[in-house]
Structure 1
Amino acid sequence: MTPLSNQFIWQINEAELPALLAKLRTPEQKSSTLALPKSYEPAVKASGLAKAWNDYLIDVYSPDKSILVLPVTGEMSRSGSWGNFGNEFYIRQLKAAATDPDIKGVVLKFNTGGGTADSTPAFAQAVADFKKAKPIIASVASCYSAGYYVASQCNEIYIENQAASGVGSIGTLIIYEGWAQFLKDQGIDMRIIRAKKSQDKARANWIEELSPESEADLQATCDACQREFEGAVKRGRAGKIKSDEVFTGKTYNADQALSLGLVDYKGDLLAATKRALQLAA
């Protein structure tokens, strides 16, 4: 997981700018968040937004109408972006599914490299809470870092039987980007003026040299997030993890993950759905 990143610099080919600008100007491209299809608007009025979303996701993804499939794809974050659901969305949908008599269980369908530390513990806790009421299975292709944090709280984890499948990256890092030396070399005098009583405001930034104190603060945050991450995995996979080597941030293929207790079975979404139904019986 990445608890803090300073800046992302996007490199765009100038030849693509006209097409990119045209897309951004069209009404359907103004929002980066996913929208419920209009055909489900009557369901929203009849039973509420969360129920309507769950009905839609069942219709689109699930092999069985009584099992909710939540796709966890791309970069994970609190609110989501550019076509990805956010962690708060998943939490809401799980809470709705827990009390919905039409839903017998859930499958979380993972294809993610991970995401931010912010809100991941809350998502994982929502999975653990749901598990007390109904079965929840993880179906994974790629499931790394924050994705595995959440998947580890499921009843069981199924991994697709292919060479490209993988799990792990149980580790935490902070990406700090410092441009102070570059600015100095370019002869650019760039400064931050703080109010007299704001001497500690934004001390870790890309303009100024990172002080030993600020680096120590970042290190402490990173270590705290790692302890939180590791503790959650150990609780969720209690009695299954075979070695502490999995907590170094390394990634593993399907066979390695099975041997180390990171996953339970090889299988696809259909197999995970059948298992959820079996546990619900």
Structure 2
Amino acid sequence: MNFRTKGFLLLLLGILPFTHCITIPLTPQPLAIPQEKLVEGFPEGGKDKILVIPIEGEIFERKISGNALTKDKASLVSLVKIQLALALKDPDIKAVILKVDSPGGSVTASDLIYHEILEFKRKKGIPVLALFMDVAASGAYYLSMATDHIQALPTTTTGSIGVIMFNINAKEALDKLGIKSMTIRSGPNKATGNPLEEFTSEQRKIYQDLITENYERFLQIVKKGRPKLKESDIRRLADGRIYSTNQALREGLVDSVGYFEDAVTTTTKLPGYRSSSPGLPPTVVFYSYQKSVPENFYQIESNSAEKNLLENILPFKTSPDYRLHYLFSP
């Protein structure tokens, strides 16, 4: 063991005794009042408004806590729900454009946003268009099945229809070091996925059944969202591969190709778009928060929430992720 390694271990050992008595409180921030802003490049038009809602980054249903080097990330499901709720109350909003730039995320979060969009359309009765930016894959494609039209940029990467679960097995390597699992369980499959133990054929089947069930759900969602596609074509396309814009358009996975101004024009021509100021262009807006976003069902923060000091100074100290994912992850 060299000097630098010894020094790091001594520092770590010096910190550990205090990790249970030193905490960093997370004081709640005042709730923000959303500000409606014009999208740059689109001057204020008539009374009609088109709301742009960004769906960017990996899709998760819960808030992701940061550490000393990273910031907290708000729940994307929560942010989308908040903006849809605001749009529901505004009679001047005649359509919504989802600005989608995401590789997907958890199965549950993708499905929740899909559900929220469908509920919004049912209550509001206005069109929703998905505009695919750089990447709109897997879970991002899943939730876009709730929209009325999908437009992609000429350079978009999309597809990746499928389910994935991440895991590793280090038993062989750890056996060489004399490290063995001491897990005590109530049944042989209680610790399924333990990286310190052999992954049995029965345990593999357990995971595969979960994957298959959620994959079949994905296919049914695509079937509802792309009614012109035959089920045999959907299954052929849904082998996990990604598609370019031209490929996706040719296969019927997207409806059109264009840029943001094209999406605005297309949105005004969709069924359900009812202008209250004919002859005037719509005003394109988005919601902006300067402080923390309001809490809702998908993001309820405790006033007494605390972070362990070690989690703040060690960015690699994270909990394992056992969720299923609709995620493009090469």
Q: TM-score, normalised by structure 2?
A: 0.63
Residues 120-129 or 78-87, more deviating = 78-87
2:121 to 128, 131, 147: 131
- The one-letter code of the counterpart of 2:214 is C
Deviation at 1:227, TM superposition (A): 0.7
Q: Where does residue 210 of structure 2 map in the other structure?
A: 221
Deviation at 1:161, TM superposition (A): 1.7
Residue identity (%): 26
Q: Where does residue 8 of structure 1 map in the other structure?
A: none
Q: Where does residue 74 of structure 1 map in the other structure?
A: 57
Task: Provide the C-alpha distance between the structure 1 equivalents of 2:88 and 2:230, rounded to a whole number of angstroms.
Answer: 28
1:149 aligns with 2:142: yes
- The one-letter code of the counterpart of 2:92 is D
2:101 to 111, 127, 132: 111
2:163 to 157, 172, 176: 172
Unaligned runs of 5+ in 2: 1-7, 9-24, 65-71, 275-330
8 Å Cα contact 2:55/2:98 also seen in 1: yes
When Rg is computed on C-alpha atoms for both structures, the one with the higher figure is: 2
Task: Provide the C-alpha distance between the structure 2 equivalents of 1:227 and 1:143, rounded to a whole number of angstroms.
Answer: 20
Deviation at 1:60, TM superposition (A): 5.7
- Once the two structures are superposed, the pairs formed by residues 1-281 of structure 1 within 5 Å of their partners are 41=32, 44=33, 52=34, 55-56=35-36, 58-59=37-38, 63=42, 66-81=49-64, 82-83=72-73, 85-132=75-122, 133-141=125-133, 142-162=135-155, 165-194=156-185, 197=186, 200-240=189-229, 243-244=233-234, 245-279=236-270, 280-281=273-274
Task: Provide the C-alpha distance between the structure 1 equivalents of 2:40 and 2:182, rounded to a whole number of angstroms.
Answer: 52
Task: Provide the C-alpha distance between the structure 2 equivalents of 1:211 and 1:98, rounded to a whole number of angstroms.
Answer: 50
8 Å Cα contact 2:160/2:241 also seen in 1: yes
- Deviations along 1:93-139, one digit per CA (max 9) or x if unpaired, are 22332342132211111111111112221211222233331110001
Tell which has more relative contact order, 1 or 2 (C-alpha 8 A, sep 6+): 2
Secondary structure of the structure 2 residue equivalent to 1:228? helix
Task: Provide the C-alpha distance between the structure 2 equivalents of 1:143 and 1:67, rounded to a whole number of angstroms.
Answer: 21
- Deviations along 1:150-187, one digit per CA (max 9) or x if unpaired, are 1122100111123xx12100111222211111111222
8 Å Cα contact 1:170/1:249 also seen in 2: yes
Task: Provide the C-alpha distance between the structure 2 equivalents of 1:268 and 1:191, rounded to a whole number of angstroms.
Answer: 57
Q: TM-score, normalised by structure 1?
A: 0.73
- The one-letter code of the counterpart of 1:144 is A
Secondary structure of the structure 1 residue equivalent to 2:57? strand
Task: Provide the C-alpha distance between the structure 1 equivalents of 2:75 and 2:261, rounded to a whole number of angstroms.
Answer: 22
Task: Provide the C-alpha distance between the structure 1 equivalents of 2:105 and 2:190, rounded to a whole number of angstroms.
Answer: 26
Q: CA 1:64–1:204 in structure 2 vs 1: closer, same or farther (change >3 Å)?
A: farther
Q: CA 1:248–1:88 in structure 2 vs 1: closer, same or farther (change >3 Å)?
A: same
Root-mean-square deviation over aligned CA pairs: 2.8
Task: Provide the C-alpha distance between the structure 2 equivalents of 1:276 and 1:139, rounded to a whole number of angstroms.
Answer: 10
Unaligned runs of 5+ in 1: 1-13, 15-29, 45-51
* Greater fraction helix: 1
Residues 77-86 or 133-142, more deviating = 77-86
* Greater fraction strand: 2
- Deviations along 1:45-79, one digit per CA (max 9) or x if unpaired, are xxxxxxx2xx44x5467947712211111111112
Q: Where does residue 27 of structure 1 map in the other structure?
A: none
